[in-house]
């Protein structure tokens, strides 16, 4: 059953017909800088970062549909994925990673909200990252969020600032950032994760939630 409270919160326009509330949003937020964040155009603008022996896969799903649109992204996580194996003393590699293929231009003093909806068949950890173009070390990342995804659709988001203390000294050379998310190594169970309606929108100064 559709959660009507979430529907009203998420939709820009709602109309009632034959007792049903129908959302006309379909990710038309004009401030969203992410293209195809609802995966209606399949995996256009999105790339799976492959690893040798990686058995976990990404695909567009038309069977498990979130509030608006007809498609969502499905990540099939394999508990015995060979990519989980790591060298002693090293951090676990992501089981699967997805990158947004378009670079996001730097905005002076810009504040942005990164938001998406997700659910899974079993509890699983997702990691969301805003990263500077060409940066290779974690200490240079703008913002990282680890979120526990469960069986019900839920909205996950964080706020990041372009001119933060971690990034200001690098922006003179790199004027773009990139967006990615992954399932870190160490997730115990095989599961499927669905992701939909990814948005990156500007936030007014002093507003941390809208």
Separate counts of helices (H) and strands (E) for the chain? 1, 13
Residue 118: pLDDT over 90: yes
Of 51-60, 137-146, 164-173, minimum mean pLDDT range: 164-173
Which one has a higher pLDDT value, 35 or 83? 35
Q: What is the pLDDT of residue 27?
A: 46
Domains with residue ranges and CATH for the chain:
30-202 (2.60.120.260)
What's this model's pTM, rounded to 2 decimal places? 0.73
Q: What is the pLDDT of residue 201?
A: 93
Residue 93: closest CA among 146, 52, 143, 142 = 52
Q: What is the pLDDT of residues 162-191, one digit of tens each?
A: 765 555 555 555 567 788 888 776 555 678
pLDDT band at 35 (very low <50, low <70, confident <90, very high): very high
Residue 49: pLDDT over 50: yes
Token output for 119: 């659910």
pLDDT band at 50 (very low <50, low <70, confident <90, very high): low
- For residues 177 and 141, give the distance between their C-alpha atoms in angstroms, rounded to a whole number: 10
Q: What is the pLDDT of residue 97?
A: 84
């Amino acid at each position: 059953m559709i959660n009507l409270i979430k529907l009203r919160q998420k939709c820009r326009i709602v109309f009632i017909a034959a007792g049903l509330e129908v959302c006309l949003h379909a990710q038309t937020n004009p401030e969203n800088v992410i293209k195809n964040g609802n995966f209606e155009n399949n995996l256009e603008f999105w790339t799976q970062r492959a690893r040798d022996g990686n058995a976990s896969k990404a695909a567009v799903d038309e069977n498990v549909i979130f509030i608006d649109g007809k498609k969502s992204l499905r990540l099939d996580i394999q508990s015995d994925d060979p990519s989980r194996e790591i060298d002693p003393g090293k951090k676990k590699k992501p089981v699967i990673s997805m990158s947004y293929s378009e670079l996001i231009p730097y905005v002076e003093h810009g504040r942005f909200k990164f938001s998406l909806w997700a659910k899974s068949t079993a509890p699983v950890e997702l990691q969301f990252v805003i990263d500077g173009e060409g940066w290779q070390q974690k200490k240079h990342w703008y913002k990282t969020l680890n979120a526990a995804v469960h069986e019900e659709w839920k909205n996950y988001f964080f706020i990041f600032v372009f001119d933060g203390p971690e990034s200001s000294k690098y922006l003179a050379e790199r004027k773009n950032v990139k967006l990615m998310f992954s399932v870190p190594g160490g997730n115990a169970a095989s599961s499927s994760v669905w992701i939909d309606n990814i948005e990156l929108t500007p936030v007014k100064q002093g507003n941390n939630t809208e």
